[in-house]
């Protein structure tokens, strides 16, 4: 992997963290003690602190288990992903960009966990008729987007291999 490619991936990670932390700081400053703000009937901004993972998964686990899983195991996973990404163990291409977004989002949420006693700032809620999300943040969007990106590229590659056989 070229130095230029590594720089691009590092910039994606740093920008993802910066945008995530910047929007969370704005949410804490303007939404923490305020009523939810509704926009265009679809977007609601409201402040929550989530002790679990995306969409509060694991929020009911004991605090020590959450600490091991969400701080310890996630940190190890992010370090492993960064090692693979930056040591050239991946082919340059779309998948390395997806991994960069996942790392950036994961680090963004880890920063919150370390700063806020194991909780993550969430503030975005979407609702369109019967469809709605839980409350999430920019880091969650980066992680989810990266995972979906990987799933899609791997599914397409798998289909191509099957059709070529």
Per-residue model confidence (pLDDT) at position 75: 95
The residue ranges of the chain whose pLDDT is under 70 are none
Helix (H) or strand (E) holding 2, with range, is none
Per-residue model confidence (pLDDT) at position 25: 97
SS3 for 121?
strand
SS3 for 120?
strand
Q: How far apart are CA 28 and CA 117, in angstroms?
A: 15
Per-residue model confidence (pLDDT) at position 142: 98
Per-residue model confidence (pLDDT) at position 52: 87
Helix (H) or strand (E) holding 137, with range, is none
Give 39-99 as a DSSP string.
ETTTEEEEEEEESSSGGGTTTTS-HHHHIIIIIIIHHHHHHHHHHHHHTT-S-SSHHHHHH
**CB neighbours (10 Å) of residue 41?**
9
**What is the rounded radius of gyration, in angstroms, for the C-alpha atoms of the chain?**
18
Per-residue model confidence (pLDDT) at position 163: 86
Per-residue model confidence (pLDDT) at position 108: 97
Per-residue model confidence (pLDDT) at position 9: 95
Over residues 55-102, the pLDDT tens digits come to 778 888 998 899 899 999 999 999 999 999 999 887 778 899 999 999
For 89, counting Cβ atoms within 10 Å of its Cβ (0-12 exposed, 13-18 middle, 19+ buried), the class is exposed
Catalytic residues: 122, 140
Please list, in sequence order, all residues whose beta carbon lies within 8 angstroms of the beta carbon of residue 116, skipping any fewer than 6 positions away: 49
Q: How far apart are CA 110 and CA 107, in angstroms?
A: 5
Percent of the chain residues topping a pLDDT of 90: 73
Structure tokens at 39: 């926009």
């Amino acid at each position: 992997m070229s130095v230029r490619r590594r720089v691009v991936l590092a910039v994606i990670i740093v920008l993802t963290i910066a945008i995530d932390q910047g929007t969370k700081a704005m949410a804490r400053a303007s939404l923490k003690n305020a009523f939810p703000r509704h926009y265009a009937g679809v977007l609601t901004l409201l402040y929550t602190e989530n002790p679990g993972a995306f969409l509060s998964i694991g929020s009911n686990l004991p605090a020590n288990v959450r600490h091991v899983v969400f701080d310890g195991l996630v940190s190890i996973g992010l370090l492993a992903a960064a090692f693979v990404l930056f040591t050239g163990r991946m082919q340059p291409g779309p998948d390395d960009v997806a991994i960069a977004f996942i790392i950036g989002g994961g680090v963004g949420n880890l920063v919150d966990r370390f700063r806020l006693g194991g909780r993550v700032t969430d503030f975005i809620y979407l609702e369109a008729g019967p469809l709605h999300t839980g409350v999430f943040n920019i880091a969650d969007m980066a992680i989810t987007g990266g995972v979906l990106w990987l799933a899609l590229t791997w599914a397409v590659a798998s289909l191509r291999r099957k059709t070529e056989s």
